């Protein structure tokens, strides 16, 4: 079994009548880092909340680590750690006591050594006796992460972990996430930032308006990203691509006044020199040229647009 979470046919209609999730199917693989990408209101938090038991699904099933999240909720939830999007912490408890509390809540026997390790990893050890209300926002987020890790979950949900977090903490966090994955923890994170997904994830899922519209290996996405376009503005319009240039991946645009060549930047030879030579031999002259790269952002935006 490679899927650690399988979501099938999951729908959620809120009491207001709003349909936040529309028949979602999704499999998260054991040990991967999965980035769930989507605009505001897409349903990321709703999906996570259902898997973690905070929101009741309207229909559909979810298995976490092989356990049905409602019938076998104890086993399912024991495996899951959640860092919520909002900074919701106690105020008067100390860092140490709130993190220890979480471990107990999840049914684990006391283990001060583990709590210490978690606090050290998150640079919270010096703050262990500080009341949470005296911490900065970024530190509170670390506390939430520490609480989620206190009970040694096999699955970790990070709902927008880097919102309102400075560069340093972000890097700390990614270091920690990578380390967790090395230990075999499956990590699902949501983000608005494509660079984040690009940097961290093994696979990327895009959600929009309550539907998963794309799930792909990041490397596959990057391959698509690796493609570049060379646009040549021609001096004279062409009605068709000349026979002599058939070997190149070319297309005409702007009524034949533009010639577009697609190539792979990662290939050993991009073929640009050969193309330019062939163009000269065919007597095709151009006024201007320009190259462009489709980013994950472009793919994302066009995916979201095409659905609306």
Partner 1 sequence: MSQRSTGMGLINWHAIVAIYRFEMARTWRTPMQSILSPVISTSLYFVVFGAAIGSRMQSIDGVPYGAFIVPGLIMLSLLTQSIANASFAIYFPKFTGTIYELLSAPVAWWEAVAAYVGAAATKSIILGLIILATATLFVPLRIEHPVFMLLFLVLTATTFSLFGFIIGIWADGFEKLQVVPLLIVTPLAFLGGSFYSIEMLPPFWRVVTLFNPVVYLISGFRWSFYGVADVGVAVSLGMTMVFLAACIGAVAWIFRTGYRLKN
Closest to partner 1 by CB, 115 vs 204, is 115
> Is position 20 an interface residue for ligand ATP (rule: CB under 6 A)?
yes
Closest to partner 1 by CB, 97 vs 257, is 97
Contact residues: partner 1, CB under 8 A:
14-15, 49, 52-56, 67, 72-78, 80, 82, 84, 86, 88-93, 97, 100-109, 147
DSSP one-letter string for 208-233: ETTEEEEEEEHHHHHHHHTEEEEEEE
Q: Are strands 59-64 and 211-217 parallel, antiparallel or unpaired?
A: unpaired
Q: Binding mask 82-101 vs Mg ion (x if CB under 5 A, - otherwise)? A: ---x----------------
| Phi, psi (deg, nearest 5) at residue 259 | -115, 125
* Gap between the Cα atoms of 169 and 146, Å rounded: 14
For residues 297 and 194, is the Cβ–Cβ distance under 8 A? yes
Piece in contact with ligand ATP (CB under 6 A), picked from 33-41, 137-145, 168-176, 230-238: 33-41
Residue 38 binds: one of Mg ion, ligand ATP, partner 1, none (C-beta under 5 to 8 A by kind): ligand ATP
> Residues in contact with Mg ion, total (CB under 5 A)?
3
Identify residues 25-54 at the interface with Mg ion (CB under 5 A).
Answer: 44-45
- Neighbouring residues of 199: CB distance < 8 A, sequence distance ≥ 6: 174
- Which residues lie across from 28 on neighbouring strands? 5
Among 41, 107, 112, 137, binds ligand ATP (CB under 6 A): 41
Q: Are strands 33-37 and 203-208 parallel, antiparallel or unpaired?
A: parallel
Q: Which two tokens stand for residue 71?
A: 């019938």
Closest to partner 1 by CB, 100 vs 208, is 100
> Is position 112 an interface residue for ligand ATP (rule: CB under 6 A)?
no
Among 7, 10, 24, 42, binds ligand ATP (CB under 6 A): 42
Identify residues 53-92 at the interface with ligand ATP (CB under 6 A).
Answer: 85
* Gap between the Cα atoms of 100 and 123, Å rounded: 16
> Residues in contact with ligand ATP, total (CB under 6 A)?
13
> Is position 40 an interface residue for ligand ATP (rule: CB under 6 A)?
yes
For residues 148 and 82, is the Cβ–Cβ distance under 8 A? yes
CA proximity to 284, closest of 256, 255, 253: 256
* Site residues for Mg ion per CB under 5 A: 44-45, 85
* Site residues for ligand ATP per CB under 6 A: 14, 16, 18, 20, 38, 40-46, 85
């Amino acid at each position: 079994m490679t899927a650690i979470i399988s979501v099938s046919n999951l729908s959620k209609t809120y009491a207001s009548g709003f349909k936040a999730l529309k028949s979602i199917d999704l499999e998260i693989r054991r040990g991967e880092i999965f980035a769930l990408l989507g605009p505001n209101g897409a349903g990321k938090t709703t999906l996570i909340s259902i898997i973690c038991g905070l929101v009741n699904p309207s229909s559909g099933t979810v298995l976490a680590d092989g356990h049905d999240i409602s019938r076998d909720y104890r086993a399912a939830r024991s495996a899951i750690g959640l860092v919520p999007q909002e900074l919701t912490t106690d105020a008067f408890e100390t860092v140490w006591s709130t993190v220890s509390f979480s471990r107990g809540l999840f049914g684990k026997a006391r283990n001060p050594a583990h709590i210490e390790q978690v606090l050290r990893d998150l640079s919270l050890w010096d703050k262990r006796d500080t009341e949470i209300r005296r911490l900065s926002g970024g530190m509170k987020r670390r506390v939430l992460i520490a609480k989620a890790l206190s009970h040694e979950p096999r699955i970790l949900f990070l709902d927008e972990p880097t919102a309102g977090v400075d560069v340093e903490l972000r890097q700390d966090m990614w270091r920690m996430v990578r380390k967790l994955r090395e230990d075999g923890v499956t990590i699902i994170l949501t983000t608005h930032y494509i660079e984040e997904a690009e940097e961290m994830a093994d696979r990327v899922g895009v959600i929009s308006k309550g539907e998963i519209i794309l799930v792909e290996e990041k490397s596959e996405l990057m391959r698509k990203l690796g493609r570049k376009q060379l646009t040549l503005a021609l001096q004279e319009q062409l009605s068709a691509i000349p026979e002599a240039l058939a070997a190149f991946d070319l297309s005409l645009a702007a009524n034949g006044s533009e010639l577009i060549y697609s190539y792979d930047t990662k290939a050993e030879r991009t073929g640009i020199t050969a193309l330019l030579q062939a163009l000269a031999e065919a007597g095709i002259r151009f006024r201007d040229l320009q190259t462009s790269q489709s980013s994950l952002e472009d793919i994302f935006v066009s995916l979201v647009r095409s659905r609306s």
